[in-house]
Amino acid sequence: MRLKHVVLSVFLLFSLAACMEPTYDSGKLKVIEVTDHDFKINDESAVTLIVGHANVAEYSFSLRKSDLKKGTLLQSVSDSNPNVRADGTFFSEYYVQSKDHDTHASIEIVEIDPVEKVARIAVGAKLVNLKNEDYKELEITLFELTGQNLENLLNKVEI
């Protein structure tokens, strides 16, 4: 009888463990991907930095590769700068910059060091969902790019 209780207890323990969701750091925003496909902004090669939580894309920031120089600061208020693109997706709802709403986007190239194999880029945005006029805002956040993301960022860039 005692063996039966031990076996049942072990079975229940493993069953409960199998039902638990995996843990991850959902609180930390991170770079999910830097695009490596070829696209253009105003007839110039461009790149997109995609950031989010727990490998779920939330914000994307696009800029021309010719603007990838240390110290470059690109800003767009109410979609005023065609060389800066920002958008976001949250629970299947799409958020954008808008000429008719209080929105903004910012991208700053803080550092690009191909020798040390690192880039630091600060981004921020306030975007609007045009269907319901809901806003999402990302305060200026600094991201460090290394590895494949850095390679994709610097692909075909003259530094």
Q: What ranges do the domains of the chain cover?
A: 26-154
pLDDT one digit per residue (tens) for the chain, 159 residues? 555 544 444 444 444 444 433 333 446 899 999 997 888 999 999 999 999 998 899 999 999 999 999 999 999 999 999 999 999 999 999 999 999 999 999 999 999 998 999 999 999 999 999 999 999 999 999 999 999 999 999 887 665
Judge residue 115's burial from the number of C-beta atoms within 10 Å of its C-beta, 0-12 exposed, 13-18 middle, 19 or more buried.
Answer: exposed
Instruction: Give yes or no for a contact between 134 and 128, defined as CB atoms under 8 angstroms apart.
Output: yes
Residue-level pLDDT at 36? 78
Tokens 């530094």 locate to: 159
Question: Is the whole model's pTM more than 0.85, yes or no?
Answer: no
Residue-level pLDDT at 24? 39
Instruction: Give yes or no for a contact between 147 and 34, defined as CB atoms under 8 angstroms apart.
Output: no
